[in-house]
Structure 1
Amino acid sequence: MGKRVTIADIARAAGVSKGAVSYALNGQPGVSEATRERILQIAAELGFTPSRGTRPPSGSGAVGLVLCRPPRILGVEPFFMELISGIEAALSASSCDLTLHVVADHGAELEVYERWATQRRVDGVFLVDVRVADERLDAVRRLELPAVAIAGPGDFGGITSVWSDDAAAITDAVEYLAALGHRTIARVGGLPHLLHTVIRTEAFAAACRRLDVQHAVTVPSDYSGEEGGRATRRLLSSTERPTAIIYDNDIMAVAGLGVAHEMDLSVPRDLSIVAWGDSLLCSAVHPPLTALSRDVAAYGSVAAQHLLTVMAEGTVPSRQHATAFLVPRGSTARPSQVLADTIR
């Protein structure tokens, strides 16, 4: 008696996910008619005999997102709220739910994926805050969880990514500040082990070297207002006090603006500020913050559409989303010394 043909066998032969095979065999929505016909033909050729347990991998039709961030940061972080709103908009159109889980550390995050896969709680997952040498990539492949990484460019071992060109965006910000005459520029970065932080840090340093910025430094932080404020105080108290600071999110930029006022520095005369992220916070303060802006909700929507396709078809090419663009506002100007020289 030969080995019983399984859904995994059909998935391998068809080049799709097990979820897509299950949808096709059960007449469920989620795959195109062409893909359904191809899967059914391959199943017939292999001699597949369905069992009573054949069904989509998740009874709830859900996808998962695990956030490994302190809840206090997520409560005020505009980026993730906008990203989730875009994801939800795309998923609701496909009658798919989002399961959100917040954890304190990476070990707990891996445990969530194991539990979701074992209990068949979700049909796919989003991977955010992708790290250098991220063990989650191997984990979701081992668990056969369809996944989309919301991350930078790179080889993720066959996992589809949706990404934005952070290197080009940070370069635009440095070029703008250099054109205003700034030659001492600092950056308050995010968590240093994240892939997008590394990309931004390397691009910032390269742009400063090319534009002959005399003193350029990146200070790591954790995206919180508290850490952003502390980093700003250290920078503004140093012997090489920057005339401009770029922040990796708008929460830290608003905190930095508050520190500048606290230290009796005028923005933008004594200090120019650029925020990464252009939420309503940037327009609600005085002066309003120059920011790198992009449609984060649309970014989330594209990621969700890609995950739905990966779940149905098994694979989809990675996609570059729109690059953040600079929106100059009242927080940036020529540094006071350059301005004085110009007037003379």
Structure 2
Amino acid sequence: MDGPTIADVARLAGVSKGAVSLALNDKPGVSEETRQRIKQAAKDLNWRPSIHARAMLRSRAFAVGLVLARDPRHLALDPFFAGFLGGVETVLAGSGSVLVLQVVGRDERAEAESYRGLATERRIDGAFLLDIRRDDGRLQLLSELGLTAVAIGPATVDYGATPAVGIRDADGITAAVDHLVELGHRRIAFVEGDPAYLHSSSRLDAWLQAMRGHGLPAVLHEVGYFTGDGGAAATRRLLAREQHRPTAIVYASDLMAVAGMSVAREAGLRVPEDLSVTGFDDNPEAAHLHPALTTVHQDPVSVGAAAAELLLALIDGRDGRPDTVAPRLITRASTSPLS
């Protein structure tokens, strides 16, 4: 047996189907008394408009988008992304909206075309912007497309008119350097992620400033591109230096740090006795390595939830307050006093 329809609600309330639409979408055109009578009729019949009907009535897609220009192979190894999606879904689950995800590989033109297609076809009401790049054209693009957007990136960056959830990743790198200096280290190297991303340059800048703040030379710097292979290669270059070989290395991600620890062992070095190591992310396996990894903990689930709450508020025309999330250093066994 078919369930109740909008016609049944209209019949019970003694109004037209158009009046039901106006009342249930809180639009003007019906008296408050009639609105309440219609809502009571819908409640008595246990009738709710379908997502498709709601979308038609409100000119809404009830969907938000995320387009990523990343290598899918690297994406599979990124725990931040999985946690971020989990946080987004915790908010979307009770909102009636869904997430539309597209991964286009490292092709910025395809990324832009995806956003254009989603906007033109009215498949999404707004979008998340991850992996913010230098001179990122997506901020202007989404504004031109009329799409509500929320950026997720370093808290120190000015995103213009685009609201953002800021991550204070610089605080985590500064804490790692301070920790190593307290242990007596002076030759502290840094392995950067991918320079194309602002969160990578933000962490590099934090290392530079922290080293200079302690009166130490900031010269031991290599790029690892946030990959295991890149982190291993960067570590080999640092350890090959005949002069000023580092006694400690700060990595911009746990994945690079784990690879670096393996390279150090291959070179006959003990971690942490000969080389102290810190990471960034606090991946689930970080606490179970041998030695357990000292790292900067960030909570991608909280970041995703904050971003989703802000985006939905903006789409609904409600006040949405940009937020910041602060990571913290977790001290484990991969760092020790300089021997």
How far is the alpha carbon of 1:25 from its aligned partner?
A: 6.8
Partner of 2:331: 328
Deviation per residue, 1:106-129 (Å, 9 max, x gap): 111101100000111111100001
Quick one: which amino acid aligns to residue 204 of structure 2? Answer: T
Corresponding residue of 1:72: 73
SS at match of 2:313: helix
Q: What is the SS of the residue equivalent to 1:85?
A: helix
What's the secondary structure of 2:220's corresponding residue?
A: strand
Q: How does 1:190-229 map to 2 (within 5 A)?
A: 190-229=193-232
Please tell me whether the aligned partners of residues 190 and 197 of structure 1 are also in contact (alpha carbons under 8 angstroms). yes
User: CA–CA distance in 2 between the matches of 1:54 and 1:75?
Assistant: 36
- Give the 3 Å change call, closer, same or farther, for CA 269–57 of structure 1 in structure 2: farther
After TM superposition, give the deviation of residue 216 of structure 1 in Å. Answer: 3.8
What's the counterpart of residue 185 of structure 2? 182
Identity %: 40
Provide closer, same or farther for how the CA distance between residues 201 and 101 of structure 1 changes in structure 2, counting only shifts above 3 A.
Answer: same
What is the CA–CA distance in structure 2 between the aligned matches of 1:85 and 1:73, rounded to whole Å?
Answer: 18
1:178 and 1:213 in contact (8 A); partners too: no
Pairwise CA distance, 1:89:
1.0
What is aligned with 1:89?
Answer: 90
- Indicate the RMSD between aligned Cα atoms, in angstroms: 2.0
CA distance in 1, matches of 2:132, 2:201: 11
SS of residue matched to 1:93: coil
Q: Give 2:5's aligned residue.
A: none
Q: Secondary structure at the match of 2:119?
A: helix
Name stretches of at least 5 consecutive residues in structure 2 with no aligned partner: 1-20, 29-54
Query: Residue in 2 aligned with 1:9?
Result: none
Letter in 2 for 1:141: S
**Residue of structure 2 in register with 1:50 after alignment:** none
Asked if 1 retains the 8 angstrom alpha-carbon contact of 2:118 and 2:124, the reply is: yes
- Provide the rounded CA distance (Å) in 1 between the counterparts of 2:59 and 2:176: 45
1:256 has 2:260 as partner: yes
Among 149, 152, 157, the alignment partner of 2:151 is 149
| Aligned-partner residue type, residue 251 of structure 1 | L
The 4+ residue runs of structure 1 with deviation greater than 6 A are: none
User: Which residue is equivalent to 1:161?
Assistant: 164
TM-score by length of 1: 0.80
Partner Cα distance (1:302, 1:88) in 2: 11
Q: 1:292 offset after TM fit, Å?
A: 0.4
- In 1: Cα distance, 2:56 partner to 2:255 partner: 48
**Alignment-derived partner of residue 273 in structure 1:** 277
Task: Judge conservation of contact 2:296–2:328 (CA < 8 Å) in 1.
Answer: yes
Could you tell me how far apart the structure 2 residues matched to 1:56 and 1:95 are? 13
1:23-38 to structure 2, matched below 5 A, reads 27-28=24-25
- Cα distance change, pair 174–25 in 1 and its aligned pair in 2 (3 A): farther
In structure 1, distance between residues paired with 2:247 and 2:23? 63
**Helix, strand or coil: the match of 2:221?**
strand
